[in-house]
Amino acid sequence: MDPRVAAVGTSAFGRTDLTGRDLFSAAVAEAFADGPDPAEVVDAVYVGNQSESYEHQIMYGTLLAEWCGLRHVPAERVEGCAAAGALALRHAVEDVRSGRRDAVLACGVEKMTAGGTAGATNALSAAFDRALEQRTGVTAPSQYALLAQRYLHDTEATERDLARIAVKNHANGAANPRAQFQRETDVETVLDSDYVAPPLKLFDCAPVTDGAAAVLVANADVAARFDDDRPTVRVAGVGAGANNIGVADRNLTFVEGAHEATTHAYDEAGVAPADIDVAEVHDAFTVCEALLSEAAGLAPRGRGYESALPPAERSDGWTDTHLSTSGGLKARGHPIGATGLAQAVEVYEQLTGTATPTRQVDDATAGLLINEGGVADAVTVAHVLTT
């Protein structure tokens, strides 16, 4: 079967008094506003969710199925730190592709602000190897800083180049009504922000975000029950792979898992990097956008940091892909388990021509999602969406 994105929705992103299930309700309300009720079409539910420590709540599959009116369907939580959302999407796609199910709800939710910065720091540290990394006292920013330090050492990139990525994504976020930060910033503001883990500064880091996103993946028959005035968006390719958990053991300047995952997704979709009009790359930290652009073949090795430049000004070997038009994790927000699905929402809007005019890429027909968990290369998931 040919899996399609039948409907999408998100909550608002940012700090809120709403709980995880409430945020999910908002995402579902949007996704199903113009179509049948979930109970009429949804055959299974996968929930991307990073950590039970924020709300002291597991059983998220059951809870969210119940909260959207479903009973006696398979429903489960999928975990892979920040890749959980795309892992949920991948399960939905595989279920529909196999013909086993007609429509599957992939959703993600995270209530990150519950424990403040310390709560998020502690919860995210669980993604790192307990034996050696956690005992060292590493944090998410410091893990990515180890990548950034080496990237700046091995390439011509500077902290100013990384700052430009944050500035570009804030400018995109300013044009996205879903974004947590709908405001622009400038390079000096980024460079003047405090170091969190040098060379990464506060404005190199995605924020702590509450939010949910929902994507209904369906076969053609079910998809036709939703708004069929829009172009059909197909999930044409998927790739996923776990590399390893310890950052020390990796190639620090080439994200091998992202290369493998995107290559597989391109092959399934029958596209090349140059065909990708829009890409949501996992800019949890600015350096990720540079690294993942290279791994995905969108940028030549060592030049991914030029992602903030207009396509015509980038080095030879770059594609013309527009990167993180949503504002990325940096500005749209990074509700961990929902992020991979928020990426799908953005590319869906781009491919259906329903993005707000100032961020809409003209004639976009192919989009890439790269979602990763556990410091760039522990697990990476890539999806290619096409019209």
Q: Please, are residues 291 and 146 in contact by the beta-carbon 8 Å criterion?
A: no
Asked if 288 touches another protein (CB under 8 A), the answer is no
Tokens for 329? 């994790």
Q: Which of 114, 146, 187, 220 binds another protein (CB under 8 A)?
A: 146
Q: How many residues are given for the chain?
A: 387
Rounded to a whole number of angstroms, the minimum distance from the CB of residue 131 to another protein is 5
> Which residues in 34-63 contact another protein (CB under 8 A)?
none
> Which residues in 161-180 contact another protein (CB under 8 A)?
none
Asked if 81 touches another protein (CB under 8 A), the answer is no
Asked if 198 touches another protein (CB under 8 A), the answer is yes
The residue behind tokens 């592709």 is 97
DSSP H or E stretch at residue 370: strand 366-373
Toward another protein, which CB reaches closer, 194 or 313? 194
Asked if 147 touches another protein (CB under 8 A), the answer is yes
Asked if 200 touches another protein (CB under 8 A), the answer is yes
CA torsion sign, 11 to 14 to 18 to 19? positive
Asked if 376 touches another protein (CB under 8 A), the answer is no
Query: Rg of the chain's alpha carbons, rounded to an integer?
Result: 19
Count of residues in contact with another protein, rule CB under 8 A: 36
Q: Please, are residues 243 and 250 in contact by the beta-carbon 8 Å criterion?
A: yes
> Which residues in 84-143 contact another protein (CB under 8 A)?
117-118, 121-122, 125, 131-139, 141-142
Query: Whose CA is closest to 3, among 294, 383, 322?
Result: 383
Asked if 261 touches another protein (CB under 8 A), the answer is no
DSSP H or E stretch at residue 189: helix 187-192
Asked if 197 touches another protein (CB under 8 A), the answer is yes
Give the integer Cα–Cα distance in Å for 202 and 323. Answer: 21
Toward another protein, which CB reaches closer, 117 or 356? 117
> Which residues in 203-222 contact another protein (CB under 8 A)?
none
Q: Which of 34, 40, 228, 249 binds another protein (CB under 8 A)?
A: 249
Query: Whose CA is closest to 105, among 11, 23, 240, 9?
Result: 9
Asked if 246 touches another protein (CB under 8 A), the answer is yes
Give the integer Cα–Cα distance in Å for 384 and 381. Answer: 10
Q: Bridge partners of 10? A: 213
Rounded to a whole number of angstroms, the minimum distance from the CB of residue 50 to another protein is 16
User: Which chain residues interact with another protein by CB under 8 A?
Assistant: 117-118, 121-122, 125, 131-139, 141-142, 145-150, 153, 194-200, 244, 246-249, 252
